[in-house]
Chain A
Amino acid sequence: MLPEAKIGIGQQQAERRVPRTVNVGDAGYNALLWCFGGSILLIAGVLVYALWGTSRPAFRAASVLSFITGSNWDPVQESFGALPFIYGTLVTSAIALLVAVPIGIAFAIFLVEMAPSGLRPIVSFPLELLAAIPSVVYGLWGLFVMVPWLREFLEPALAGTLGFLPLFRGPPLGLGYLAGGLILAVMILPTVASISIEVLRTVPSTLREAALALGATRWEAIRLAILPYGRAGMLGAGLLGLGRALGETMAVTMVIGNSPEIHASLFAAGYSLPAVIANEFAEATGTVHTGVLAALALILFGITFLLNSVARLLVRAVTRGSVKAAA
């Protein structure tokens, strides 16, 4: 297999005795592999093409700007303002990140840095299960367990203590932005935690040991040596979580309340981009309505594409850099 090995004294005789043949099987196999590799690029191309093709009627009917900044959604009158959905998606994702990122990173820190090694498999399996629960099951749980709990306990409690903020005013409905955000937090937690674990594992143990040898407590070693090293990777974990939160559909659809309005209060019913697609697409009337919903999907695709690209590059930079440092 090594071409250099042939260069030698007996090279010419060897070539005469054993004629070089192209193995037909190898050539075919090589071609097949390249076809498989190319198929992914083809799929990506087809994906963008199909999205663009389905959403084109929307861009013919109205300008992108009026579409994104309009807040009146009335399919019957063909008035399509997507702002309430964009707002709802941003608000619920922000709540999800605020809740899930600290908990996810703390989870990872505990598992990698603090817990006795015997505890790790016992805790990491539930994390996998948490990631495996289907979205619609989370939605069912959210609708019948979390929403009543929010209505009876958390929302009245928040209104009582932080009610001076406009965020926590209004009647505690249960269904709304807060419910959507919290269910998203539950759903992106496994993503954030498992990538943080991956990042923490790549921190060279010399860093940890050096800090401990200087007399740092375990927490000081984490804060001063380990977290700064893994910061970019953690940011990547958060962004990947955000990417998941933005596109998550079923659970949010079931608990956000599905009302195309903008409210300052987190207790109020709202709507999100994926939720409106899920609810209206199958029954969309006319090509413009269908097109507008597909255009929303295109926006969603664009945002998650950007986020995921950045996040992957960050995580990759951290995990690769550490490999180099360790080598």
Chain B
Amino acid sequence: MSSYFGRRLMNLLMTGLCAGAVVLALVPLVSVFWLLFAKGFSALSWSLFTSLPTPVGEAGGGVGNAILGTLLLVGLACLLGLPIGIGTGLFLAERGDGPAGDTVRFVTEVLSGVPSIVIGIVAYGLVVVPMHRFSAIAGAVALALLMVPTLARAAEEMIRLVPSSLREASLALGIPQWKTSIRVVLRTALGGIVTAILLAVSRAAGETAPLLFTSLNNQYWNTRIDQPTASLTVQIFNYAISPYEDWHQKAWASALVLLLFVSLMNLTSRFLARSPLRGA
């Protein structure tokens, strides 16, 4: 293998293998999208968005309540999670250069690696046990707990991108630190933070495991936060593991809706990240 030809051949071989790895890695992606469109598109209809689920064998029906439930859960989770997440990001960026900041950053990173099912148990212990009831708010607490760490790290990164000359210019004009921080630094980083929020929302909307025993499920429309709530992901799970072909169809269609939502969020965030709105 030490001949020049052999070494060239090895180089070519490894390049080919690495390129092959890229192709291999993208096979599932193409397959997932292809199948969801192939199987889910035909089952898409208005009633999917507007109707309640029907029993097996009954035609029509949809997952309208589950879509509403997911929106409710994610909305509540945002109310709880966004202020803490962004606030922590602000702390890390503005006061994070010391042992206290390092500790908070480390804990944030560790929290972001906690499996979502474990977070579900935590929300169960925190909300479901004292309330003696599965509820939308329990699911929202779980989703918020999942959002906070990722959001905090992303917000910190975005805020740190703001050039210090902007901050200094504001301070030099005699504007107090807090006003500088909020009206100059945070506003400049806003585009980046919106990106982070979109990604957090799309991640929360796709979570299933922590909702199984917090918001549980509901066959009917629900907008009350102290009641069990259907969600798109739990509904997909229930439909998928059922033995009925009709329900499988609905699972594909619902999964397509979910996937389109998540992809749209990701595309938007990518577009925003490129636009001049983003700090720096």
- A residues touching B (Cβ–Cβ < 8 Å)? 1, 23, 25-26, 28-30, 32-37, 39-41, 43-44, 46-47, 50-51, 53-54, 102-104, 106-107, 109-111, 114, 123, 125-130, 132-141, 143-145, 186, 189, 193, 217-220, 222, 240, 243-244, 246-250, 254, 274, 277-278, 281-282, 293-294, 297, 300-301, 304-305, 307-309, 312
Contacts and interface: CB of A to CB of B under 8 A. Distances in A.
Contacts of B177: 23, 26, 29
A249 B32 contact: no
Contact of A136 (B124, B149, B236): B236
A130 B29 contact: yes
B125 interface: yes
A32 B216 CA distance: 35
Contact of A189 (B25, B134, B182): B25
A114 B109 CA distance: 31
A114 B117 contact: no
A41 B91 CA distance: 13
B240 interface: yes
A118 to B, nearest CB: 14
A318 to B, nearest CB: 15
A137 B121 contact: no
B15 A36 contact: no
Chain B: interface size category: 35 or more
Interface in B191-240: 199, 202-203, 205-209, 212-213, 216, 233, 236-237, 240
B88 A39 contact: yes
A300 B87 contact: no
A141 B7 CA distance: 42
A39 B87 contact: yes
Contacts of B179: 25
Nearest to A217: B11
B21 A133 contact: no
A281 B11 contact: no
B251 interface: yes
Interface in B10-29: 10-11, 14-15, 17-22, 24-26, 28-29
Given A125-B270, A246-B115, A29 B262 contact: no
A249 B84 contact: no
26 contacts: A23-B178, A26-B178, A36-B91, A37-B96, A37-B101, A37-B104, A47-B119, A50-B122, A54-B129, A107-B25, A111-B22, A114-B18, A129-B266, A130-B28, A135-B206, A137-B255, A240-B113, A243-B113, A249-B116, A274-B115, A277-B121, A278-B117, A278-B212, A294-B125, A305-B113, A308-B110
Contacts of B87: 32-33, 35-36, 39
Given A107-B21, A218-B15, A219-B15, A254 B240 contact: yes
B25 A248 contact: no
Given A243-B113, A312-B110, A51 B216 contact: no
B263 A129 contact: yes
A132 B18 CA distance: 23
Contact of B92 (A23, A37, A307): A37
A23 B125 CA distance: 42
Query: 6 tightest A-B contacts by CB?
Result: A247-B115, A134-B206, A29-B178, A36-B87, A106-B21, A308-B113
B136 interface: no
A110 B115 CA distance: 30
B278 to A, nearest CB: 16
B173 to A, nearest CB: 12
B110 A40 contact: no
A36 B251 CA distance: 40
Nearest to B122: A50
Contact of B91 (A34, A44, A129): A34
B28 A40 contact: no
B4 to A, nearest CB: 9
Contacts of B248: 144
Interface string B62-81: 00000000000000000000
